[in-house]
Amino acid sequence: MNIENMKSEFDIIELLKLTSRTSISRNLDIKLGIGDDCAIFSNYAISTDLLIEHVHFFSDVNPYNLGHKSLAVNLSDLAAIGAKPHSFLLGLSLPNINNIWLKNFSHGIINLANIHNCQLIGGDTTSSKSNIVISITVIGTIDSNLALKRSNAQINDDIWISGLLGNSRLALEHKLGKHKINIEDFNICLKNLELPTPRLELGQNLCGIANAAIDISDGLLSDLEHILKASKVSAIINWQDIPISEQLSRQNIIMQKLCALNGGDDYELCFTAQPIKRNAIIQKANQLGIKISHIGNIIANNDKNISNIQIMENNQMMDIKYVDEIIKNQFKHF
Ligand code: ADP
Ligand code: MG
């Protein structure tokens, strides 16, 4: 890869991946390496995520919520592969020591960790010149043969989404002053943004039923595209079937599309499964009390073998230029 052409985080990851492939040491018990929500070695799934002040969270965020979210986004990667939480490491870099802030932050992390029986087993703490940096590495257990890989979506698979999409982005748009919503709606959306629920039980229950999965951290289109590229397939989805909240349905159609198709931070699961598995999936979701929606299907790539997403709206193809505009507007985390 030409280093001058690197434009996004994915180009950097590709460069690191290519470079590491040429290195000599290859460990045979690594069953899944760079490219999925977790790496898998032996019967463990492992994943790491960074949260940086001013990039991933506002300085005035409630520290309890920040603690919760720091672990939740990591647990969400375990959910996406179908793993069960085991333990985690916490890296913390702080510009100063504020006892009350730290107490609340640790309660936010540890309360969520306790719910999922995920034990803090180590980490590192340093001072920082300016920003707060939080780095968590989670470890889960998994039967590697049943892991929900991004690369296993099959032609004709149904595409499913858990929960509702877009509220986190709507809260962000309001907070940034770009699109004002009423205070009751904002408070609900802020909870989605700051206190996401990792879909761990759903992920574990989908092992052996679903073919592929990813958690929606960057936005439906962007994350579904990861499944499609890894599986070398394409998708057709229906705008009307994409699940959005009451709060989002009260906004104009552009805002609805921006938040639901391209809003990050939802931490819902997007997964694919054979149509024959429909009843089993609906039954599992009902048992867990989780809403799921069938939003479309996997189709073959075009003749140039390029993965793409067609979005249908009222039986017509949604104007892709319009969707591109939405993507250009994306709030970049990178
Ligand atoms: P996620 O959104 O699930 O956290 P990402 O899109 O951030 O996943 O990353 C895609 C893949 O690239 C993952 O397998 C991740 O482990 C890998 N990756 C990201 N950054 C790096 C890095 N700096 N070095 C090696 N691998 C990386
Ligand atoms: Mg992920």
67-89 pLDDT tens trace: 999 999 999 999 999 999 999 99
Q: Which of 135, 137, 134, 48 is nearest to 95 (CA)?
A: 134
Ligand 1 contact via 50 beta carbon (within 6 Å): no
- Does residue 21 carry a pLDDT above 80? no
Q: Where are the alpha helices (DSSP H) in 116-199?
A: 167-175, 183-194
Residue reference for tokens 């999965």: 213
CA 138 to ligand 2 center in whole angstroms: 12
Ligand nearest to the CA of 38: 1
Atom 17, ligand 1: residue with shortest CA distance: 34
| Percent of the chain's residues with pLDDT above 70 | 92
Give the pTM. 0.93
Looking at ligand 1, which atom is closest to the CA of residue 33?
14
Ligand 1 contact via 33 beta carbon (within 6 Å): no
Please report the pLDDT score of residue 14 as a whole number. Answer: 87
CB 136 within 8 A of CB 48: yes
- Does residue 124 carry a pLDDT above 70? yes
Looking at ligand 1, which atom is closest to the CA of residue 49?
4
Atom 22, ligand 1: residue with shortest CA distance: 13
Residue reference for tokens 């909240």: 245
Ligand nearest to the CA of 214: 2
Ligand 1 contact via 35 beta carbon (within 6 Å): yes
CA 283 to ligand 2 center in whole angstroms: 25
CB 331 within 8 A of CB 190: no
